[in-house]
Amino acid sequence: MKLTITFIATDDMDEKNPYHLYEVESDDFAYYVCITKEETDLGYTDYSNKYEMYNRSDFTDREWETAKYLFHFLWDSDNGTNTCVEQDIYEEDGFEQADFIALLEKFHFADKGVLDLYEDGGVEIYWDYFSCFNLKTCKFWED
């Protein structure tokens, strides 16, 4: 199987341990993977995906809109390797806390360590969230 690995971006808010985002693509799948400088300093770079990748068909339309919202929020963020979207922000954008609870429960994103829901309603999004989607079917830039 041929894989194409493309460098996407670097998050160097933590100067001692920057994160690098890569896209890994084959004929059947594509995903993003986040690799830290700490990991590459070990002498090798592992581009494998440790997360279950979901297809667009795994989501209802509302779940997809919610997942896409979080994806874009993190993508557009300049707050470093993790970002929290506050409840007042996502409510202004037409989402409710119940949308995020449903997403977390169905896909176990909190158990996987890619999303956290805080008591104040904020949703923390980690770069590994990017790895949970098969980009061949989850077209965040087109849907």
Average pLDDT of span 114-138: 95
3 state SS of 84: strand
Tokens of 56: 């667009």
Which strands sit side by side in the sheet containing 4-11, from one edge to the other? 4-11, 19-25, 30-36
Which structural domain, as residue segments, surrounds residue 118? 56-132
Say yes or no: 75 and 128 in one domain: yes
Reported pTM: 0.89
User: Do 35 and 80 share a domain, yes or no?
Assistant: no
Q: Indicate whether 60 and 106 sit together in one domain.
A: yes
Together in a domain, 114 and 61 = yes
DSSP labels, 93-122: TT--HHHHHHHHHHHTHHHHTSEEE-TTS-
Chain segment 9-63, per-residue pLDDT in tens: 887 777 777 888 899 999 999 999 988 878 888 877 889 999 999 999 999 999 9
Ordered alpha helix ranges (H), the chain: 37-40, 61-75, 87-92, 97-107, 109-112
- pLDDT at position 89 over 80: yes
Residues 6+ apart with CB under 8 A from 106: 63
Q: Which one-letter amino acid corresponds to residue 102?
A: A
Is residue 60 located within the same domain as residue 34?
A: no
Q: Please, which residues bridge with residue 124 across strands?
A: 84, 116
Average pLDDT of span 56-85: 89
Domain assignment present for residue 128? The answer is yes
pLDDT recorded at residue 81: 60
